Amino acid sequence: MPDTLLVIEDEALLGSELTRYFRKKGWDAPLVRSLAEARQLLDDGGIEPLVVLADMNLPDGNALDLLEQQRQRPGFGEWIILTAYGTVPDSVRALRLGAFDYLEKPCEMDRLDLVAAGAARSARAHRRLSDERALHSRQYTADSFVGGSPAAAQVRAVLRKLSVVPLSALILSGETGVGKGLAARILHHSGTRAAGPLVELNCAALPRDLLESELFGHEAGAFTGARGRRRGLLEQASGGTLFLDEISEMELSLQAKLLRAIEEHRFRRIGSEREIQVDVQIIAASNRDLEQQAREGTFRSDLYHRLSAFRLHLPPLRERRDDLEALVPPFIAEYNALAGKAVSQVPDGVWQRLHQYDWPGNVRELRNVVERCVLFADDTVFPEQWLQLGDTGGTGEARVQGDRISLPLDGSMTLDEMERLILQTALERHDHNVTAAARALRTTRETLRYRVQKYGLKSTG
């Protein structure tokens, strides 16, 4: 189906010439000769033109007035304004209202075709972004936090209230895997900043120097390897939301720089003398008690108080086991679709074991369990043998022999269980010192600390 280019032109000869020309170029090009006809076609005719080519001065008014009325409607395309009597105030108003271009008559057809093609590309890009925002706004609502338990209902109620409040910052707390990332996406996509970008950063995944560069960006030559200018995530999130996961892993000196940027709405890229203005909502998340850390001095108290305009705690899955019946079916459907399976029956024995388990990895662990069981299912029945909830469930056995670890590959251990055993063994060999264990495992201290917290392992250093 061809794209629509609406021609609004009261000169019969020129209007016919324009529609004939653009139809030959593959457009659906309807012609109207007044603002009233255009308004009726746009409002009641069921068309959403990708491009509107409008004469500014029409018998019943100025096309810029129609542009101003239509610019907020869904499916709004790009407008090109034509005029035989161009003035500076008119051109300024046209561009201020969002017109793609402002051209004086007579205009060569080749040039007009080039401008229309550019307008079409711009309109398609805007519509893609608009469609993505609409999809996310439907996908990430308060109801996306699934569960029929009182705890889940309370979280949904708070999310609904927060989504209509223009908060500058808030803190999400809760154990690893409870859904803090989901809550952040709900707050953004159903909130007052849904039209802006959502930028996410896991502070535990990067060392200090890289984290600073990621957050604030840098200029070319600011440090070794900085070959060009880079816009930081804080700058990229301007007008929207910056989600800082595991913010407790951020070093104190960097916390001070972040605090200044939040309070003053401006910052400098690394190696730059120019300040950049930003307008960002900050959502910070941590599986640690930031309030306690602030009292102990391991997290800046001023940053904590700045971020804690509101605090939302997400309960662990073991405190809302009644939600399992609501959580499991959507996960099954998701992995059925991905793997081409048809699992539809969950035996009573499976439900019993799911309810008896403590879920230390929370909803994330539940998702992984469902994924494994669906992938290994042979028919429509959810296979109990692949649950592996706190037991080996197979013939294999993990063994530690000197400096080697033997891991079974018969499905009796999950990937998380294997990783946890490796980390626990390495920490025990180095008296639970994270720095020494990280060196032995050839990884960074920050990466290992994140995984130590993920699995709740004992550590020092």
131 plus 144 within the same structural domain: no
Mean pLDDT, the chain, whole residue set: 88
Q: Point out the least confidently predicted range of 52-66, 265-279, 359-373, 422-436.
A: 422-436
Domain of 450: which CATH number? 1.10.10
C-alpha 110/C-alpha 101 separation (Å) is 15
251-263 pLDDT, tens per residue? 999 999 999 999 9
130 and 243 inside one domain: no
Q: Are residues 353 and 411 in the same domain?
A: no
Final residue in a domain of this structure, among 69, 104, 136 = 136
**Which residue range(s) make up the domain with 71?**
5-136
Largest CA distance in the chain: 91
Regarding whether 357 and 306 lie in a shared domain, the answer is no
Based on C-alpha coordinates, what's the Rg of the chain?
A: 29
- For residue 392, tell me if it sits in a domain: no
Q: Which of 119, 136, 153 is the last residue of a domain?
A: 136
Let me know whether 259 and 360 are in one domain.
no
Whole-model pTM: value is 0.65
pLDDT for 69 equals 86
Tens-place pLDDT, residues 165-182: 888 999 999 998 999 999
What is the per-residue pLDDT for 79? 92
Same domain, 220 and 309: yes
Lowest mean pLDDT among 112-116, 312-316, 352-356, 438-442: 438-442
Count of the separate structural domains present in the chain = 4
pLDDT at residue 255, as a whole number: 95
Residues 348-354: what's their mean pLDDT? 93
- CATH code at 367? 1.10.8.60
Neighbours of 456 (CB within 10 A): 12
Closest listed residue to residue 81, CA positions, set 96, 110, 73: 96
Report pLDDT for 444: 87
Evaluate whether residue 460 is within a structural domain. Answer: no
Q: Please, which pLDDT band fits residue 139 given cuts at 50, 70 and 90?
A: confident
What is the model's pLDDT at position 420? 86
Give the CATH number for residue 29: 3.40.50.2300
Q: How far apart are CA 406 and CA 399, in angstroms?
A: 5
Q: What is residue 381's DSSP assignment?
A: B
Find the mean pLDDT for residues 396-418: 71
Same-domain pairing of 130 and 163:
no
Regarding whether 117 and 164 lie in a shared domain, the answer is no
Residue 310 CB-density burial (10 A; 0-12 exposed, 13-18 middle, 19+ buried): middle
Confidence of residue 293 (pLDDT cuts 50, 70, 90): very high
